[in-house]
A = this chain, B = another copy of it.
């Protein structure tokens, strides 16, 4: 364990920790005393049929989901729904390399898969809250990988699913992209094979990661239209790279990011069906909205569309945004309005 003030309520808001106990992982190791950070909004009704699960992505915690997607005026309105936002393992708030004690600390943190997260989340929802069915499961990017995994693994439990900017089976192209992120960090001598003294020591590696993210995370149109200025208020491209991209990743813990990157690379619901993606997606009972972002270079609409066609009750809803993948962070009200509109429609659907 190493201290890192970034992963604290003062930055990420109030959250609770669910003590899961030992979690047997798909790769064979057991994560001891696994903890899931979560936060809830609204009240679970007597029928327990208004529960919504919200998951988290690569670089975010429950905080950004809470800020961007949940609240009065959003589809995920706490006046109607009991919303449980759960941080993924490796988020920095849930069990993560930097906050786990020896002998599973830092570089010795075990390899975690998307399926492990979903099993852990299932335990939280069923045992802590007695939830038997989800009105909606919603997540973006790696959070979306988790939602697909939920819909395939627990088909009877997921009534509706909304997947933003993610695929059910990661493509090799996206795998390679993530590998460049991983190598940008592990190539930093200050990373020391995962045994750095302070998260901030890996600043060069995280800076390189931030720049690769800057190339792939937005779009050429975003830069050409100078949205870094009109949308984000930065004074120049360099100001944007340093003040937004580098600043965004700088406080994060390298091993935590690497834990998630490894998991991201291997998201694949067809592990349930011996590699048969159609068979895996065919198991889904939920009404599913697959919502790629028009300019996303991680999960291009074409890849998402192909998967959507394999889902019995799947519908494709492309979100139009030249912010590309990074639109997820909800900088643009026009983006959020589209997501809310689709989610409202989905929630109104009688499954």
Q: Say yes or no: A180-B220 contact (C-beta < 8 A), given A187-B187, A189-B189, A204-B187.
A: no
Which of B180, B220, B303 contacts A212, CB < 8 Å?
B180
A276 to B307, CA, bound (A): 45
> Which A residues from 132 to 189 make CB contacts under 8 A with B?
171-174, 176-177, 179-180, 183-184, 187-189
Per-position 1/0 for A208-247, Cβ under 8 A of B: 1001101110111101100000000000010001000000
Q: A204-B187, A212-B212 are in contact. Are A302 and B220 (CB under 8 A)?
A: yes
* Residues of chain B with a CB closer than 8 A to A300's CB: 220
* Interface contact B237-A172, CB-CB below 8 Å: yes
Whole-angstrom distance between the alpha carbons of A179 and B173 in the complex? Answer: 20
Residues of A within 8 A of B (CB-CB), count:
33
- State whether A224 touches B179 (Cβ < 8 A): no
Cβ-defined partner of A215 (8 Å) among B173, B205, B208, B221? B173
Known: A223-B173, A237-B172. A187 touches B208 (CB 8 A): yes
Selected contact of A211 from candidates B183, B189, B221, CB within 8 Å? B183
Q: What is the bound-complex CA distance between A221 and B300, given in angstroms?
A: 10
Tally of this chain's copies: 2
Q: Chain A 37-79 against B: per-residue CB contact (8 Å), 1 yes, 0 no?
A: 0000000000000000000000000000000000000000000
Once A187-B204, A187-B208, A208-B187 are accepted as A-B contacts, the answer to whether A176 and B220 lie under 8 Å apart by CB is no
Beyond A187-B204, A188-B187, whether A220 also contacts B179 by CB under 8 A is no
Q: How far is the CA of A237 from the CA of B170 in the complex (A)?
A: 14
Q: How far is the CB of A234 from chain B (nearest CB, A)?
A: 12
On chain B, the residues within 8 Å of A177 by CB distance are 215
Question: In the bound complex, how far is the Cα of B305 from the Cα of A220, in angstroms?
Answer: 14
Bound-state CA distance A215–B207 (Å) is 19
B residues in contact with A187, CB < 8 Å: 184, 187-188, 204-205, 208
Bound complex: CA A237 to CA B188 (Å): 26
Closest residue of chain B to A226 (Cβ to Cβ) is B172
Contact A176 B302 (CB under 8 A): no
A305 to chain B, nearest CB (A): 12
Report if A220-B171 is in contact (Cβ < 8 Å); known contacts: A211-B176, A215-B177: yes
**Chain B contacts for A204, CB-based, 8 A:** 187
Residues of chain B within 8 A (CB-CB) of A211 are 176, 179-180, 183
Q: Which residue of B lies closest to A245 (CB)?
A: B176
B183 engages A208 (CB within 8 Å): yes
Taking CB as reference atom, which chain B residue is nearest A221? B302
Q: In whole angstroms, what is the CA distance A188 to B204 when docked?
A: 12
A191 CB to closest chain B CB (Å) equals 11
Q: Which of B212, B223, B297 interacts with A171 by CB under 8 Å?
A: B223
Complex Cα distance, B216 from A179, in Å, reads 13
Which of A172, A216, A297, A303 is the most central at the interface, judged by chain B CB atoms within 10 Å of its CB?
Answer: A172
11 A-B pairs, CB-CB below 8 angstroms? A172-B237, A173-B215, A173-B220, A173-B224, A180-B208, A180-B211, A180-B212, A180-B215, A187-B204, A187-B208, A220-B302
Nearest 6 A/B pairs, CB to CB:
A173-B223, A173-B220, A172-B237, A177-B215, A172-B223, A180-B212
